[in-house]
Amino acid sequence: MTHSHGSGINRLSLNAIFILHLYLSYSGDIMKVRFLGHAAFEVTLDGKKVLVDPWIKGNPKSPVKLGEVSADIVIVTHEHGDHGFDDAVEMAKKGATFVSLFELANKAGEKGVKGAVGMNIGGPALIKGLKILFTQAFHSGTANPSGVVVIGKEGSFYHAGDTGLFGDMKLIGSLYHPKVAMVPIGSHFTMDPVQASYAVKFLNPEVAVPMHYGTFPVLTGKPERFKELVAKRAPETKVRILEPGESFEL
């Protein structure tokens, strides 16, 4: 009797753990952020996999091969080669929804992508259950560059794209309260650690992740310096320095 009673409890608690696990994975309590090197991120939000700036082929920092990643949604912030337009096109041909500013989405269409969503800077569109909106980014290109905010039930994240510092990051912070902000710190083409620490102060995210550094010799910004500056300037924000392939959940 005692034995069967005991194993009954074990079975019960195992079931409870299993149900809790199912609940967590379906209720979307977990947001997962995985760094794929340079400015490429894979974020799992509300059970959807979103890839931003997925430069994989030719990225010296990529921890994966193109065939090893898939996405529900693939977002490209601008046309420069180190932000993965070509790889995003490949993923879109395998079923990911391609999302970018209008001109780049048209270009994806010309390359054979069906159903590319071309947006512009402004309010969100609902794509596969997630709200996606584009922000300005101070950068260059033959088409306008952008940053992007993705909002799910679990929270939101902001990927700044390539940009210099701008004061309206305060608006992005107060409107969308990003849980995670990915900010470029490499200098030369984007913000440096000092400017990026101000960006974090403006955005006020729970977690800031530095990106766009160290891939090429000119990208001299150091993530440790960024972390020190954020600790002084925006002490409520935690900095996560990720190695390519590394991830965290929150």
User: Which CB sits closer to Zn ion, 51 or 234?
Assistant: 51
- Using CB under 5 A as the binding rule, the residues of this chain from 65 to 84 that contact Zn ion are 82
User: In whole angstroms, how close is the CB of 212 to Zn ion at the nearest point?
Assistant: 6
CA angle, residues 204, 155, 171, in degrees to nearest 5: 40
State the burial class of residue 224 (Cβ atoms within 10 Å of its Cβ: 0-12, 13-18, 19+). exposed
Instruction: Please tell me whether residue 222 adopts helix, strand or coil conformation.
Output: coil
Gap between the Cα atoms of 237 and 207, Å rounded: 5
Q: Is the CB of 152 or the CB of 223 nearer to Zn ion?
A: 223
**Shortest reach from residue 82's CB to Zn ion, in Å:** 4
Q: Which is nearer to Zn ion, 44 or 100 (CB)?
A: 100
Contact status: 162 vs Zn ion (CB under 5 A): yes
The pair phi, psi for residue 226, each rounded to 5°, is -60, -45
Nearest C-alpha neighbor of 39 from the set 171, 137, 142 = 137
- Nearest approach in angstroms of CB 80 to Zn ion is 5
Among residues 82 and 192, whose Cβ is nearest to Zn ion?
A: 82
Whole-number minimum distance, CB 6 to Zn ion, in Å? 60
Contact region with Zn ion (CB under 5 A), list: 11-19, 66-74, 142-150, 155-163: 155-163
Q: Residue 44 or residue 190: which is nearer to Zn ion going by CB?
A: 190
Instruction: Give the CA dihedral 37, 201, 223, 135, nearest 10 degrees.
Output: 20
> Could you tell me the smallest distance in angstroms from the CB atom of residue 57 to Zn ion?
15
28 in the Ramachandran plot: left (φ > 0), alpha (ψ -120 to 50) or beta? left
Scanning 9-17, 64-72, 101-109, 154-162 for contacts with Zn ion by CB under 5 A, the matching segment is 154-162
Say which amino acid occupies 16: A
Total site size for Zn ion, rule CB under 5 A:
2
Closest approach, Cβ 186 to Zn ion, in A, equals 8
Stretch that binds Zn ion, among 15-23, 97-105, 157-165, 237-245 (CB under 5 A): 157-165
- Determine contact, residues 241/223, Cβ cutoff 8 Å: yes
In terms of CB distance, is 202 or 213 closer to Zn ion? Answer: 213
For residue 135, what are the CA distances in angstroms to 78, 159, 169, 228? 12, 10, 9, 27
- Residue 46 touches Zn ion, criterion: CB under 5 A: no
Distance, in Å, from the CA atom of 105 to the CA atom of 128, rounded to the nearest integer, reads 17
Q: Is the CB of 162 or the CB of 192 nearer to Zn ion?
A: 162
Which stretch, 1-9, 113-121, 158-166, 234-242, contacts Zn ion (CB under 5 A)? 158-166
Which residues form the interface with Zn ion (CB under 5 A)?
82, 162
